[in-house]
Structure 1
Amino acid sequence: MDDIRGDRPVRTADWGWFLAWLLVGACGGIGLAALLTVGAAFLVLAAVAAVLLLRRGPRRAAVGAVSGLALPLFYLAYLNRGGPGEVCRAVAGGQTCTEEYTPVPFLVAGALLLAAGFVIHVRTGRRARTGPVPRT
């Protein structure tokens, strides 16, 4: 039905802006998670990209940054996939053990952020195409 109305290119462009903001959010999330090491560089990169996107693209696509915050959380869940507790792995010449957290909170928080960003983007996209809903 979208092809009949001819708004297919607009919808595709909206998702492109959303994905750009998703990357900004991921960069910002990595910057916050790694603040004591390389985080400052990621935060500066995210800030510069956000300024550029705010100048060029639709502001409603900025909700993609919310979904982008999910990517570092998914990575933390992956890193802690053996937890909770002490996890030992074989390495050359012996073994190494690390303390890992449970991955479930990182996974749930990431899934909620990812879903929230997508749902908000879809709903605001529909509202922008159909116009505001009249109040009765």
Structure 2
Amino acid sequence: MRSSSWPWFCAWLAVGALASLGLVAILSIGVYLLPLALLAAALLATRRGSAAGLPGLVSGLGVPLLYVAFLNRGGPGNVCTTTSTSQSCVDEYNPWVWLAAGVIFLLAGIVLGAVRQRRATLR
């Protein structure tokens, strides 16, 4: 990708990450994040040249999924943490599913951007 399209890619990545976080956390703060993501997308869509970084939206969808994989790195199953004064146990998801989905989205956006840039230079 050209250096001029990277800022747009990063801006769209942030919008995608915000939208994905809104979907992952739909039962809590997601209700407030989704309208914010739509507003940011509308604002970016009206800017000249922003379409060059649109594949960043796809990559951004993977960022919260990677964070969920990180949070569940001890799973799957019941994971207990013991300190000198207490013990707490939580049931964690399989992190490999979240990691795979996050990496696929992240790489898909990068590859899509590279293919799009290559087609633009061939014309």
TM-score, structure 1 as length reference: 0.84
Gaps of 5+ in 2: none
1:85 aligned onto 2:64: no
Q: For residues 76-104 of structure 1, give each alpha carbon's deviation from its aligned partner in whole angstroms, at most 9, with x where no partner exists.
A: 10111000110001246310000111100
1:31 aligned onto 2:22: yes
Q: Aligned equivalents of 1:29 and 1:98: distance in 2?
A: 24
Structure showing greater Rg: 1
Specify the SS of the correspondent of 1:51.
Answer: helix
Report if aligned partners of 2:8, 2:52 keep a CA contact under 8 Å in 1. Answer: no
Structure 1 stretches of 4+ with a deviation exceeding 4 A read: none
Q: In the comparison of the two structures, how many residue pairs are matched?
A: 122
Query: Which residue does the alignment assign to 1:5?
Result: none
1:101 aligned onto 2:93: yes
Q: Name the amino acid aligned to 1:72.
A: P
Q: Aligned equivalents of 1:91 and 1:128: distance in 2?
A: 57
Query: Which residue does the alignment assign to 1:73?
Result: 65
Gaps of 5+ in 1: 1-9, 132-136
Out of 43, 48, 59, which is 1:52 matched to?
43
User: Offset of 1:45 from its aligned partner?
Assistant: 1.3
Query: Which residue does the alignment assign to 1:42?
Result: 33
Q: Aligned equivalents of 1:67 and 1:126: distance in 2?
A: 18
Q: For residues 90-130 of structure 1, give each alpha carbon's deviation from its aligned partner in whole angstroms, at most 9, with x where no partner exists.
A: 24631000011110010011111111100000110121122
Out of 98, 121, 127, which is 2:113 matched to?
121
RMSD of Structure 2 on Structure 1 (CA): 1.5
Q: Name the amino acid aligned to 1:93.
A: T
Specify the SS of the correspondent of 2:42.
Answer: helix
Q: Name the amino acid aligned to 1:88.
A: C
